[in-house]
Chains A and B, each alone.
Chain A
Amino acid sequence: MAAKFGSESILVQRRPDYLTGEMRSPAPAGHNEVKEHWVPMNAHGSFPRWTKRAAGIATIMAVAIGLSACSSAADDNKPAAGGEKGDVLLVQGIRSLSNSYHANWAAGGDLFGESVDKKVIVLSDEADSQKQLSLVKGLAAKGQVYALNIDPNTSSDTEAIVRAVTEAGGYVVTQWNKPDDLNPWDIGDHWVAHIAFDGTGIGKDVSQTLFDSMGGEGGIIALQGILDNKPAKQRFAGLQEALKANPGITLLDDQTANWSRTEALSVTQTLLAKHGDKVKGVWAANDEMALGALEALKAAGMAGKVPIIGFDAVPQALDEIKSGTNKYVATVSTDPWWQGGAALSLAYKAATGEIDVSKLSHDQRAFYAEQSIVTKDNVEKFTQAPTLEALKPDLDDPFKRFSAPIN
């Protein structure tokens, strides 16, 4: 999860995704979002008097630009849908290339581009929703049918993006964020599909990995994400299912550490003081918290004795899994290369007419994709890009990793 900041700091909280409990892609670049919400306040507040006038002018300009953008988007420079195979533009919409998750996502898209012998355009919005939308609208100016695979910044951005794509006659696959009550078929055939990841099933499986490494017996402590956060709930539900199947395991305590490494450290300290040696395993709803818990275990001299699991496959967690010295036994990966490659392939196939979107079922147009458990045995697969050959079956059939319908 990108969500890391504590929930209690209302005064300085500026992360709508936590407050609304949205799905977030597991990119550390979530940090970037902070900028977006701070800067406008700063610009208004920092320099009184002349700034007020400047702000007034800026507002008028912004409105004017906004109006012109709207009208140009509504203009009839709409290319004919289902363009020639040759001139479909491949586009990725990601947050930033500076975090490994989205960099891998982009690399997966490049693999697909290689397979159809095309260059892929990468739009990186640096976690700025306005920028993201204007980049997408800018695509219309190219006058070409395009296939877009995008990670919308927040759920509320999704509708504007897919409508802009529909206006321009492009084809889009969205991932992670969309409003619950909005589905691709509500908008039309240009919003090909929405892909997300369900934490429940994989949460159960990765919990089982933890229990197996404990020998099926003993007490565990669980660190939850922000409690009203959707993936936090799903992952914890997965843990509870696994607990039902393993009567030898007891959940000693579950506490929230708000996705934060720092908080996880202090919560784990307290839980270790409370339960001491009874703690035989640590379950964390993301890798950040798992890594914080690991530091608490180290301080208590218990590192390497107590197995830990997390979610999201952040680089440091993968390193820990690879080295194995601290018994970091598993994490969960959504496979960013697949997200970048297969979903772009789906949008492309819709744009070329190879897939007739109107014939896809609702299940296929809003689905949860499979995730993988990363352990020491397969960690290499998640630290480096797959070959085109390895990814080819997923590119040919974008629904290969279909796991369950969202609705």
Chain B
Amino acid sequence: MSQSGPQVADAPATGTPSRTSGPTPPDPTTPGTLARVRGLIGGGGPAVALVVLIAFFSIATPNFFSVSNASSLLSQLSILLVISIGLTFVILLGSLDLSVEGVMASSSLVFVLLASNDRNDLSLGFIALIAGVLTGSLFGLLNGVLHVYLRVPSFMVTLGTGAIGVGLATVLFGGRAPRLMDDGLRGLGFGNFGIFPKLALIAILVLVVALLVQKFTRVGRYGYAIGGDEPVVRLSGVNVERYKVLSFVLAGTGSGIAGVMAAMQLGVGDVSIGAGFQFTAITAVVLGGTALVGGIGGVGKTLVGAAIITVLANGLILLGVNPYVQISVQGLVIVVAVVATGWSLRKRVRAIK
């Protein structure tokens, strides 16, 4: 980084054409902390919207800015965040994963039925947990392979595999939700660590790993390029197929982790455990600033999107908004936020078809 300083400009005689031609007074390559955070979570629209919402609810309701509500906000954010993080990798490609609910159903049931439960005599402990998460990864792999190698549009494939997930879960479910009886495993995701919900700790761990993957691995870096202009990336010799499949595996793993988290939280494996998360998660990703056309966005931005949705749902209840109009208000705020977010991008990003 430091070679862009003035002393480098003094040595053009080395023969290389100077890349730092012209004066660069505000050095763009050494950003401040604030700028770094902005780069991560995306400045402008979504972050401002989140701050405005938090400020509004803190003033308008006495309970919003309280320890107990902060704790419930965090736990409500956790599962949505983990799903949305996974989805971000796929949406960055310009693809979509609609199998979230089916994958969560399957992974929650695989997890509970392999751990100590009230249905069978198995008690595999951590292996059950890993199996639950891997169930998600396998679904992701299936999604990726079908989409990439059979050239089926991703939303079609994932709609189908999602149905397979629900079907598989229904068979495992057998008419009655099996209960998770392993208190150790349950304790990993249930209750608080101090005032901090344990689910939130898992979500933070996932977030950190995802940020590292996005920044330092090929699948993370190429994801942007593929989403931006796939033919160009292909021409430059990158194995596009491999990285696309890997992105789907990441998304499936996210849903798998989310299924296991939900099972820990509720204490059961259930076919409908992911109910309602699919659309909310896509909304969170897009709201955060990841474009559905691909190439723009990131995991950090998704954090903001998921937080907005969680704060909104929580705040409207605290505010006592009539449940009959709540869903409309949520929709309205989301539309406004998306328009505000996209305002500066409206020339660069063509409307989503």
Given the known interface contacts A47-B152, A270-B72, the answer about A31 and B323 at a Cβ–Cβ threshold of 8 Å is: no
Q: Which of B224-267 contact A (CB under 8 A)?
A: 262, 265-267
| A315 x B176 contact (CB < 8 A) | yes
| B160 x A46 contact (CB < 8 A) | yes
Q: Which of chain A's residues have a CB closer than 8 A to the CB of B318?
A: 270, 273-274
Which of B34-42, B62-70, B204-212 lines the interface with chain A? Answer: B62-70
Q: Which of B136-160 contact A (CB under 8 A)?
A: 146, 150-153, 156-157, 159-160
Which of B6-14, B121-129, B162-170 lines the interface with chain A? Answer: B162-170
Q: Which of A295-342 contact B (CB under 8 A)?
A: 295, 298-299, 314-316
Q: Chain A nearest CB: distance from B265 CB in Å?
A: 7
| A5 x B162 contact (CB < 8 A) | no
Kindly state whether residue B324 has any CB partner on chain A within 8 Å: yes
| B-contact 0/1 string along A20-52, CB 8 Å cutoff | 000000001101101100110110011110000
Q: Chain A nearest CB: distance from B242 CB in Å?
A: 22
Question: In the bound complex, what is the Cα–Cα distance between A100 and B176 (angstroms)?
Answer: 7
Question: In the bound complex, what is the Cα–Cα distance between A39 and B166 (angstroms)?
Answer: 11
Q: Which of chain B's residues have a CB closer than 8 A to the CB of A276?
A: 68
Which of A32, A41, A316 contacts B179 (CB under 8 A)?
A316
Which of A11, A38, A291 contacts B278 (CB under 8 A)?
A11
Number of A-B contacts (CB under 8 A): 178
| B160 x A45 contact (CB < 8 A) | yes
Which of A80-88, A107-115, A259-267 lines the interface with chain B? Answer: A259-267
Kindly state whether residue B23 has any CB partner on chain A within 8 Å: no
- Which residue of A has the minimal Cβ distance to B75? A269
Kindly state whether residue A254 has any CB partner on chain B within 8 Å: yes
Kindly state whether residue B274 has any CB partner on chain A within 8 Å: yes
| A262 x B274 contact (CB < 8 A) | yes
Question: In the bound complex, what is the Cα–Cα distance between A291 and B268 (angstroms)?
Answer: 10
Kindly state whether residue B76 has any CB partner on chain A within 8 Å: yes
Kindly state whether residue A224 has any CB partner on chain B within 8 Å: yes
Which of A8, A35, A47, A100 contacts B276 (CB under 8 A)?
A8
Which of B152, B156, B173, B282 contacts A31 (CB under 8 A)?
B173
Q: Which of B284-327 contact A (CB under 8 A)?
A: 313-314, 317-318, 320, 323-324, 326-327
Kindly state whether residue B111 has any CB partner on chain A within 8 Å: no
- Which residue of A has the minimal Cβ distance to B161? A42
Which of B174, B266, B267 has most chain A Cβ within 10 Å? Answer: B266
Interface size on B, residues (CB 8 A): 62
Q: Which of chain B's residues have a CB closer than 8 A to the CB of A256?
A: 323
Q: Which of chain A's residues have a CB closer than 8 A to the CB of B276?
A: 5-9, 258, 260, 262-263
Question: In the bound complex, what is the Cα–Cα distance between A253 and B318 (angstroms)?
Answer: 10
Question: In the bound complex, what is the Cα–Cα distance between A35 and B105 (angstroms)?
Answer: 14
Q: Which of chain A's residues have a CB closer than 8 A to the CB of B314?
A: 270
Q: Chain A nearest CB: distance from B349 CB in Å?
A: 21
Q: Which of chain B's residues have a CB closer than 8 A to the CB of A7?
A: 276, 327
Q: Chain A nearest CB: distance from B116 CB in Å?
A: 17
Q: Chain B nearest CB: distance from A102 CB in Å?
A: 8
Kindly state whether residue B15 has any CB partner on chain A within 8 Å: no
Q: Chain A nearest CB: distance from B171 CB in Å?
A: 8
Which of B66, B72, B163, B176 contacts A34 (CB under 8 A)?
B163
Q: Chain A nearest CB: distance from B185 CB in Å?
A: 15
Question: In the bound complex, what is the Cα–Cα distance between A251 and B248 (angstroms)?
Answer: 46
Question: In the bound complex, what is the Cα–Cα distance between A295 and B72 (angstroms)?
Answer: 13
Q: Which of chain B's residues have a CB closer than 8 A to the CB of A48?
A: 151-152
| A5 x B272 contact (CB < 8 A) | yes
Q: Which of chain B's residues have a CB closer than 8 A to the CB of A11?
A: 98, 278-279, 282
Given the known interface contacts A11-B282, A316-B176, the answer about A31 and B169 at a Cβ–Cβ threshold of 8 Å is: yes
| B272 x A271 contact (CB < 8 A) | no
Q: Which of chain A's residues have a CB closer than 8 A to the CB of B68?
A: 272-273, 276
Which of B69, B75, B271 has most chain A Cβ within 10 Å? Answer: B271
| B275 x A100 contact (CB < 8 A) | no
Which of A6, A10, A38 contacts B163 (CB under 8 A)?
A38
| B63 x A39 contact (CB < 8 A) | no
Q: Which of chain A's residues have a CB closer than 8 A to the CB of B157?
A: 45-46
Kindly state whether residue A135 has any CB partner on chain B within 8 Å: no
Kindly state whether residue A388 has any CB partner on chain B within 8 Å: no
Which of A6, A101, A253, A315 contacts B275 (CB under 8 A)?
A6
| A261 x B270 contact (CB < 8 A) | yes
Q: Chain B nearest CB: distance from A100 CB in Å?
A: 5
Q: Which of chain B's residues have a CB closer than 8 A to the CB of A8?
A: 276, 279-280, 327, 330
| A295 x B279 contact (CB < 8 A) | no
Kindly state whether residue A12 has any CB partner on chain B within 8 Å: yes
Which of A4, A224, A298 contacts B272 (CB under 8 A)?
A4
| A295 x B156 contact (CB < 8 A) | no
Question: In the bound complex, what is the Cα–Cα distance between A29 and B146 (angstroms)?
Answer: 29
Kindly state whether residue B203 has any CB partner on chain A within 8 Å: no
- Which residue of A has the minimal Cβ distance to B318? A274
Q: Which of chain B's residues have a CB closer than 8 A to the CB of A270?
A: 69, 72, 76, 313-314, 317-318
Question: In the bound complex, what is the Cα–Cα distance between A260 and B262 (angstroms)?
Answer: 13
| B174 x A98 contact (CB < 8 A) | yes
Kindly state whether residue A385 has any CB partner on chain B within 8 Å: no
Q: Which of chain B's residues have a CB closer than 8 A to the CB of A291?
A: 266, 268
Question: In the bound complex, what is the Cα–Cα distance between A269 and B69 (angstroms)?
Answer: 8
| A-contact 0/1 string along B319-351, CB 8 Å cutoff | 010011011001000000000000000000000
Kindly state whether residue A255 has any CB partner on chain B within 8 Å: yes
Kindly state whether residue B43 has any CB partner on chain A within 8 Å: no
| B175 x A266 contact (CB < 8 A) | no
Which of A46, A292, A314 contacts B266 (CB under 8 A)?
A292
Kindly state whether residue A99 has any CB partner on chain B within 8 Å: yes
Q: Which of chain A's residues have a CB closer than 8 A to the CB of B330?
A: 8
| B279 x A253 contact (CB < 8 A) | no
Q: Chain B nearest CB: distance from A200 CB in Å?
A: 19
Question: In the bound complex, what is the Cα–Cα distance between A256 and B167 (angstroms)?
Answer: 27
Q: Chain B nearest CB: distance from A107 CB in Å?
A: 13
Q: Chain B nearest CB: distance from A272 CB in Å?
A: 7
Kindly state whether residue B191 has any CB partner on chain A within 8 Å: yes
- 7 closest A-B pairs by CB: A6-B276, A45-B156, A38-B163, A9-B279, A99-B175, A42-B160, A273-B69
Q: A6-B276, A8-B279, A34-B167 are in contact. List 7 more A-B contacts (CB 8 A).
A: A4-B272, A8-B280, A34-B170, A260-B276, A269-B72, A270-B318, A274-B63
11 intermolecular pairs with C-beta atoms under 8 Å apart:
A5-B276, A9-B278, A11-B278, A35-B166, A45-B152, A46-B157, A255-B323, A265-B265, A267-B317, A273-B66, A274-B318
